[in-house]
Chains A and B, each alone.
Chain A
Amino acid sequence: MTEDKIKLKLQPEVLEAVVIRFVGDSGDGMQLTGTQFSDTSAMFGNDIATFPNYPAEIRAPQGSLYGVSGFQVHIGSVEVSTPGDSVDLLVAMNPAALKTNLYALKPGHTLIVDTDSFTKKNLEKAEYTTNPLEDGSLENYRVIEVDMTSLTKEALKDVSDLDTKSISRSKNMFSLGMVYWMYDRSKDYTIDFFNKKFKTQPSIIEANTKVLNAGYYYAETLELIPNAYTISPAKMSPGTYRIIMGNTATAWGFLAAAEKTGLELFLGSYPITPATDILHELVKHKHFGVKAFQAEDEIAGVTSAIGAAFAGDLAITTTSGPGLALKGEAIGLAIMTELPLVIVDVQRGGPSTGLPTKTEQSDLLQAMYGRNGESPLIVIAASTPANCFNFAYEASRLALEHMTPVILLTDGYIANGSAPWKIKTVAEMPEIKCNRITKVKENWHPYERNEKTLARNWAIPGTPGLEHRIGGLEKDAVTGNISYEPMNHEKMTEIRAKKIELVQFNIPDLEIEFAKEGDLLVIGWGGTYGSLHSAVKQIYDEGYKKIGYAHFNYINPMPKNTGEILSKYKKIVVCELNTGQFASILKIKFGQFEFLQFNKIQGLPFSNDDLIQKFNELV
């Protein structure tokens, strides 16, 4: 590399936030590189948000366009609520990665490429007719060309016991080293990581450390990149933090709920992208007595959980859209038998197999209505990677307190994304009041209800004197015995609906951010919180003070003050990653208001630019 290849003027910068994307072949270790950078930044005190973007194929052909894997991280000294849209630094390890990701790089910003990978063969695979490094097409960017593969080999020439594959696979650490230097990050966390991860393979530790250092000093020695991108620690509330992925947070929320209630945790699950990591996480925790059962199919996943709920466990099942469809009949059984059960749906693009690794919010109506008969249940949605913890806990609380199945919606975006989580102890989590009954009462019936919540009592096998039978047939409102009486069926249908409606008195009110009344109310739900919050904040901070934002985590029932909030704005726009499913529910429940819509169905989160443009049109 020579200095004249740095195309644009270099200006030292002090930044509040920066978005970096590492992209390469699916075997290039981009997920690891990105994770290391984000973890290091979090340790430094930055707020972070990350998003991995990887192909559905496990090992797509090398160099192919569809085999590109990426990891984006947004770090800031200010609040960071999304992984960011357009990027400030793009690290592209091969032509295919460049081709598929250049669109995201802001004009004038930095691109680091491994020139060694720009071979004729790789350019052809990426469908480039001319070499973009030579044809002038990158003029608007600051291009830093590094012969990274050769430099990596050079750095490792004295390390014995390394095969060619291990050598070329460590070049990702060269790029990481460079980026650490650029953003003034310490290498220590990553070197510690090598020492732990490869404890038994000293040559791998040595190789990775050498290459990381080589990249770091390469950036420093050549003085080609000014070391002035300092991002100070963010202002975050004091406490102990860790970086957590959404799916892990979900799993941990259930662990906390089980410990709080003293119940054993049972998971019945069948592997499905992007929900499987919850199973992977829970199956590790046998030390807490977690019973994670990998069933023969989705239906056995939910029905084994129903069996466990009947027998007294905190029972959950985890899945994604196609699996939720398969579980529908069984969820109806849980509604009819009024057993506590949590169903997690980590949403992905649909219908059918759809876009397994991409995000979408298109299972909302399935969650609400996707069962035979009148079958209401509680639907809640998490909105950030970290609050998956709270909502998994909350789903457990509501299921146990109201004796009903609860569907918890997350999505591929927050489930795979990671963010700092201020660690919660079990002691600070809210109480959960189970409906367990252990003493025999005169004339006891299994469908006796709590007058306030209409939740039935929960008598579990092994309790003497409370032997009873439940099932999917309609039952008498008083005795719980089978009943086909017309008026009884109507009454039971009403009770089941009322029971869910009453949950609104056991959940928090809807909160408004920014203008408490005004011209425009932006509505979102679930995993779009970060994007919507940032966009509304930007407009509000820029001086337009009549925009408010309401984010729904409770979908069914909705918070009891919802109608009151809707009445305080001239216009309402509902933003969601589907064709308008939540808007349709709002239209049914609040027909007196007009609901405008903003929708995106591309398997991707909202971009800030799209939202700003839309809101500006409306205000």
Chain B
Amino acid sequence: METTTENKYTAKDFTTNQEVRWCPGCDDYVILRTMQKVLPELGVTKEDVVFVSGIGCSSRFPYYMETYGIHSIHGRAPAIATGVKLANPNLSVWIATGDGDSMAIGGNHFIHILRRNIDLNIILFNNEIYGLTKGQFSPTSTIGQKTKSSPYGNTQPPFSPGELALGANARFFARVGGNTPKEMAQIFTDAHQFKGTSLIEVLQNCVIFNDGCFDHITDKAVKEDKQIFLEHGKPMIFGKNRDKGLVLNGLKLEVATIGENGITQEDLLVHNAKEQDPTLHQMLVRLKSPMVMGVIRSYNDVTFEVREDALTAQVKANSNFTKTDDLFFSGETYEVK
């Protein structure tokens, strides 16, 4: 991955000639535009970027990015991306996936890629519904949710992607609303710069089958009181009047109001995304109100490919074999005359 100081690309350079086929008004457009806008600023060359996807609305993403890309089969993008990255660690690899693709059919690959910590980025388009198959409940749909496959209400309790990811030892987890391109751009940049597997959950509204499912969090009117956007090293503060924050009461996170009960800004928790211990990060991803956004966890750890490279270098240094002939003629051989 060549790093260039000059900003030689624009968003247009990352736009393909393919007609975008998402429904009008879909948050997927915001994600696409944000990505096309961010990439020119990351200092990567176009030929070194690969987008990998599985199946679902989100998985059309690679077709619209003027980079290398592979639109694969349902759930398998993490495994394919692992192969791409191991084959060429210089590439900037991005996975576009959905809640069904990553956590239902692809659940196994999803947890294992997080466990291994290979350096790539996963954008999880979470709309709590199956869109492409026209409206069945997904692993993140809520209990009671009425869908085409749950006409009387969903009876399967949902996953919280963040909890699942941290349980699988994710080193980087961020969450962002599908209607906030500015924050999204910052998080894409952070994810790119992070060495390890970065998971970004985008709360992405599906205008057709699950419209408004995140309104109680993302709607402009309530957003500031219902979301807290975390930044590493800064106090956990939110609210229209910036007067609310998070404090720890025993083993529970609680909302406190500055000025009430003697609470000052100094009493609020300060966000440490880089902490190895995920306990507080787990509490943050579980919190429903306010919903915690931003980079919740960003713990630096050795990546899978770095471990592999180091081991390969060590084996090479200690081996007498440079060509396969050395191996073939080694050990017990005998001559027939």
Q: Is B152 an interface residue (CB 8 A)?
A: no
Across the interface, which residues of A come within 8 angstroms of B321, CB to CB?
Answer: 285, 287-288
| Structural contact, A466 and B47, CB atoms closer than 8 A | yes
Take A255-B324, A426-B325 as given contacts and tell me if A266 and B68 are in contact as well, using a CB distance cutoff of 8 Å: no
CB pair B63–A471 under 8 Å, yes or no, is yes
Q: CB-CB < 8 A to A462: which residues of B?
A: 47-48, 88, 90-91
Residues of B with C-beta under 8 A to A189: 332
* B91–A461 CB distance below 8 A: yes
- Residues of the B chain whose Cβ atoms lie less than 8 Å from the Cβ of A264: 87
Contacting pair B88 A312 (CB below 8 A): yes
Judged by a CB distance under 8 angstroms, whether B67 is at the interface is: yes
Q: A296 to B325, alpha carbons, bound, how many Å?
A: 32
Give the shortest distance, in Å, between B35 (CB) and chain A (any CB): 14
Q: A238-B336, A304-B80, A308-B86 are in contact. Are A471 and B70 (CB under 8 A)?
A: yes
CA distance A255 to B51 in the complex (A): 30
Minimal Cβ-Cβ distance residue in B for A315: B83
16 A-B pairs in the complex with CB atoms less than 8 angstroms apart: A42-B334, A45-B334, A238-B337, A239-B336, A259-B323, A259-B324, A286-B316, A300-B78, A300-B82, A300-B109, A303-B76, A304-B83, A307-B83, A426-B324, A465-B47, A471-B63
Q: 14 additional contacts, CB 8 Å, given A287-B316, A308-B84, A463-B47?
A: A241-B335, A242-B332, A243-B332, A285-B321, A293-B82, A296-B112, A303-B83, A305-B83, A306-B72, A311-B83, A311-B91, A333-B73, A425-B328, A461-B91
Distance A236 CA – B51 CA, assembled complex (angstroms)? 54
Given B49, B84, B315, B323, which contacts A311 in the complex, CB threshold below 8 Å?
Answer: B84
Q: Which of A223-247 contact B (CB under 8 A)?
A: 233, 236-243
Chain B proximity of A271: nearest CB distance (Å): 15
- How distant is the Cα of A285 from the Cα of B323 in the complex, in angstroms? 11
Chain B interface mostly helix, strand, loop or mixed? Answer: mixed
Cβ contact within 8 Å between B80 and A307: yes
Minimum CB–CB distance from B336 to chain A (whole Å) comes to 5
B196 in contact (CB, < 8 A): no
Minimum Cβ distance to chain B for residue A451 (Å): 26
- Neighbouring A residues of B331 by C-beta, 8 Å: 242
Note all chain B residues with C-beta closer than 8 A to A469: 16, 51, 62-63, 65, 68-71
Nearest to B330 among chain A residues (CB) is A242
Give a binary string over A527-548; 1 marks a CB under 8 Å from any B CB, 0 the rest. Answer: 0000000000000000000000
Q: How far is the CB of A300 from chain B (nearest CB, A)?
A: 4
Q: Which positions 90-114 of chain B face chain A at CB distance < 8 Å?
A: 90-91, 108-109, 112
Interface residues of A in 458-481 (CB under 8 A from B): 460-473, 481
Contacting pair B83 A308 (CB below 8 A): yes
Shortest Cβ distance from B308 into A: residue? A291
Could you say which of A303, A424, A467 contacts B72, with CB atoms under 8 Å apart?
A303
Judged by a CB distance under 8 angstroms, whether A289 is at the interface is yes
Select B66's contact among A255, A306, A313, A467, beta carbons within 8 Å: A467
Residues of chain A within 8 A (CB-CB) of B68 are 310, 461, 467-469
Q: How many A-B residue pairs have CB under 8 A?
A: 204
Please name all residues of chain A whose beta carbon is closer than 8 Å to the beta carbon of B48 when the two chains form the complex. Answer: 461-462
Contact indicator per residue, chain B 298-337, by CB within 8 Å of chain A (1) or not (0): 0000000000100110011001011111011101111111
> Which residues 12-53 in B have Cβ within 8 Å of A in the complex?
16, 18, 45-52
Bound complex: CA of A43 vs CA of B65, how far in Å?
61
A residues in contact with B83, CB < 8 Å: 266, 268, 293, 303-311, 313, 315
Contact in complex: A289, B88 (CB < 8 Å): no
| Interface residue range, chain B | 35 or more
Q: What chain B residues lie within 8 Å of A252 (beta carbons)?
A: 324, 327-328
Contacts of B108 in A (CB 8 A): 296-297, 300
| Contact pick for A473, options B71, B79, B315, B319, CB 8 Å | B71
Q: Is there a chain A Cβ closer than 8 Å to B81's Cβ?
A: yes
Mark interface residues in A301-325 (1 if CB within 8 Å of B CB, else 0): 0011111111111010000000000
Do B332 and A39 touch across chains, with their CB atoms under 8 A apart? yes
Known A329-B73, A461-B84; contact A307-B52, beta-carbon cutoff 8 A: yes
Contact (Cβ within 8 A) B71 A306: no
Interface membership of A355, Cβ < 8 A: no
**Residues from chain A with Cβ under 8 Å of B82 in the complex:** 293, 295, 300, 304, 307
Q: Indicate if the CB atoms of B336 and A236 lie closer than 8 Å.
A: yes
Q: Assess whether A256 is interfacial by the CB under 8 Å rule.
A: yes
**0/1 string, A506-544, CB within 8 A of B gives 1:** 000000000000000000000000000000000000000
**Of B65, B69, B109, B334, which contacts A241 at CB under 8 A?**
B334
Chain A residues with a Cβ closer than 8 Å to the other chain, count: 71
List chain B residues, Cβ under 8 A from A241: 333-336
Interface residues of A in 242-289 (CB under 8 A from B): 242-243, 252, 255-256, 259, 264, 266, 268, 285-289
B67 touches which of A233, A467, A471 (Cβ 8 Å): A467
Q: Which residues of A contact B (CB under 8 A)?
A: 39, 42-43, 45, 189, 233, 236-243, 252, 255-256, 259, 264, 266, 268, 285-289, 291, 293, 295-297, 299-300, 303-313, 315, 329-330, 332-333, 337, 422-426, 460-473, 481-482
- Complex Cα distance, B328 from A422, in Å, reads 10
In the bound complex, residues from chain A placing their C-beta under 8 Å from that of B333 are 240-242, 423
CB B263 to nearest CB in A, in angstroms, measures 47
CB of A527 to closest CB in B, whole Å: 23
Known: A252-B328, A293-B86. A242 touches B334 (CB 8 A): yes
Give chain B residues whose Cβ lies under 8 Å from the Cβ of A304: 79-80, 82-83, 86
Cβ B87 vs Cβ A312 within 8 A: yes
- Beyond A303-B79, A469-B63, A469-B70, whether A43 also contacts B327 by CB under 8 A is no
A293, chain B: closest CB distance, angstroms: 6
Instruction: For chain B, residues 166 to 224, give those with C-beta under 8 angstroms from any C-beta of chain A.
Output: none
Question: A43-B332, A482-B63 are contacts. A308–B325 as well, Cβ < 8 Å?
Answer: no
Asked whether, in the complex, the Cβ of B112 is within 8 Å of the Cβ of A300, the reply is yes
Q: State A243–B332 Cα separation when bound (angstroms).
A: 8
Q: Which residues of B contact A268 (CB under 8 A)?
A: 79, 83
**How far is A267 from B337 in the complex, measured between Cα atoms in Å?**
37
A342 to B51: give the CA distance in the assembly, Å: 24
- A-B pairs, top 7 by smallest CB distance, nearest first, are A307-B83, A471-B71, A287-B319, A311-B87, A304-B83, A300-B79, A307-B80
- In angstroms, Cα B60 to Cα A471, docked, is 10
Q: Is the CB of A313 within 8 A of B87?
A: yes
**Within B242-261, which residues are at the interface with A (CB < 8 Å)?**
none
Within the complex, which residue of B86, B332, B334 is in contact with A266, where a contact is CB–CB below 8 Å? Answer: B86
Candidates A45, A288, A307; contact of B79 at CB < 8 Å: A307
Q: Choose one: B18, B308, B319, B323; the contact of A481 (CB below 8 Å).
A: B18
User: Complex: how many Å from CA A303 to CA B81?
Assistant: 9
The smallest C-beta distance from A57 to any residue of chain B, in angstroms, reads 28
Assembled-state Cα–Cα distance A310/B52 (Å): 11
Which residue in B69, B315, B337 is a CB contact (below 8 Å) of A287? Answer: B315
> Nearest A residue to B317 by beta-carbon distance?
A287
Contact of A291 among B55, B65, B79, B86 (CB under 8 A): B86
Find out whether the CB atom of B70 lies under 8 angstroms from the CB atom of A307.
yes
Q: Taking the nearest CB of chain A, how far is it from the CB of B90, in angstroms?
A: 7
Measured CA separation A236–B335 after assembly (Å): 10
Give the shortest distance, in Å, between B225 (CB) and chain A (any CB). 41
Cα of A228 to Cα of B219 in the assembled complex, Å: 95
The interface residues of chain B lying within 8 Å CB-to-CB of A236 are 336
Q: A297-B108, A300-B79, A304-B79 are in contact. Are A461 and B316 (CB under 8 A)?
A: no
Contacts A307-B70, A426-B325, A462-B47 given; does A289 touch B312 at CB 8 Å: yes
